[in-house]
Structure 1
């Protein structure tokens, strides 16, 4: 067990990770002192933690999380995001060292454009051969994602992990405070999706479907109801442009309209104000 000190938790996590030359999720970390800015420079404190390498069990992880509640602490969601971001950096380094080929991940907008399915062209992600079996992946992701959130300020149940389909991993957050992870207009949901997607896509070559307190289910129901008259109009006129849709709604609409009109051109467009909408037109015409 080694002790590390720095101005912020992010810096102290990085120190520990560099010292042991491993990913942050491979360490057992105990926070001794939270950083504090003090008042007018008085009482300023840095972050202090102790860390050591985890002991790797020979058998598959079988810890029972049933009826587990994660208690509140002084750590906030920003700290968790920083831990996951650092983990992503370490995974990228390991991929380079092992000469493992990983598909190029575009910017945030491109990632969200790929969340809710794609055209008929084969995606690079689909070409990846996943060497681990499904049960091993589920067990590993479930263990790590629960570990990352066990010391947050939110009371959440055990985080569920399963396969949604052959190329998509399903992660579900529930519990007393889980709805707080959504944020106003879903901004926290989108940030959490982006962080978890980067980690899972880099390490396992999988897509992600994230559910938080039935947020995704409710959004899908709302957009499906909106699209009922839209679909009828498209059948009559052959073309349509939806109203501006925010965040995840545009991707749900894109998936639904592509399913309904496989022989038409269905794509996300952006107007001069930066608003996104879905355009349905004759195939391959603008």
Structure 2
């Protein structure tokens, strides 16, 4: 585990990823202190986080995979709509204070338990995505930490259809991979980077709920995903 201090959360996430030589999506991050500009330059606070690489090994009991993600009780429709409206209002206020030209921010409850979809569009939407999606990942983690802590909700962040396009591309690529797994009982992906490996991991775990699906690292430090049967130990 490492401890990082920086002027902004985005910078802290980036430093953590560089220090551990991985992408932000591969980190377990805990925000210790949110940054603050203080008053008239006084009492300024830096962003402080701790970060550790996510375990590359999945628990054998896959059925429990969402316990941590959805550890909160299912919220009512009224609670979800109220939270979505509040989040939308705060995000709009945030963007007004930024240098980005954003025309539309919409937050709506998703079918998935305790999750909201955040849709952002506008002239500068591409700037929020950044090269290879690195700024997208940092922004996603920043608002996830805020929303999960304050509202106990998960998020899906869609900026100018970036997430949709990435999901569609990965879904097409994974089609023959899935076919090989169905035929031979095991398989693996090519090396993937950035947000792609996270999308692919979620896609494959949803498809093969009874199999071991995990991220591995090759000798060149590239990340890929393996799919095979669980190996259960005798008690």
Task: Tell me: CA distance 1:172–1:133, structure 2 relative to 1, closer, same or farther (3 Å).
Answer: same
Task: Tell me: CA distance 1:258–1:12, structure 2 relative to 1, closer, same or farther (3 Å).
Answer: closer
- Are 1:257 and 2:201 an aligned pair? no
- Are 1:153 and 2:99 an aligned pair? yes
Q: Which residue matches 2:166?
A: 219
Q: Which residue matches 1:120?
A: 63
Equivalent pair of 1:125/1:205 in contact (CA under 8 Å): no
Q: Of 163, 180, 200, which aligns to 2:109?
A: 163
User: How many residue pairs align between the two structures?
Assistant: 192
Aligned pairs for 1:125-204 (under 5 A) are 125-129=69-73, 133-164=79-110, 165-204=112-151
Equivalent pair of 2:204/2:213 in contact (CA under 8 Å): yes
In structure 1, how many angstroms separate the alpha carbons of the residues matched to 2:155 and 2:50? 15
Q: Deviations over 1:100-132 (max 9, x none)?
A: xxxxx9837549xxxxxx942152452324598
- TM-superposed CA distance for 1:254, in Å, is 1.5
Equivalent pair of 1:264/1:284 in contact (CA under 8 Å): no
In structure 2, how many angstroms separate the alpha carbons of the residues matched to 1:11 and 1:242? 39
Larger Rg over CA atoms: 1
Aligned pairs for 1:6-155 (under 5 A) are 13-15=37-39, 107=51, 110=54, 119-121=62-64, 122-129=66-73, 133-155=79-101
In structure 2, how many angstroms separate the alpha carbons of the residues matched to 1:265 and 1:217? 26
Task: Tell me: CA distance 1:119–1:171, structure 2 relative to 1, closer, same or farther (3 Å).
Answer: farther
- The alignment partner of 2:143 has SS state of helix
In structure 2, how many angstroms separate the alpha carbons of the residues matched to 1:276 and 1:170? 27
Q: Deviations over 1:156-193 (max 9, x none)?
A: 11311111222212111101211121101101101101
- Are 1:233 and 2:180 an aligned pair? yes
- The alignment partner of 1:127 has SS state of coil
- The alignment partner of 2:215 has SS state of strand
Q: Deviations over 1:12-52 (max 9, x none)?
A: 73227999xxxxxxxxxxxxxxxxxxxxxxxxxxxxxxxxx
Structure 1 stretches (4+) deviating beyond 3 angstroms? 8-12, 16-19, 105-111, 129-132
- TM-superposed CA distance for 1:215, in Å, is 0.4
* Comparing 123-132 and 218-227, the one that deviates more: 123-132
Q: List runs of 5+ in structure 1 lacking aligned partners.
A: 1-7, 20-81, 90-104, 112-117
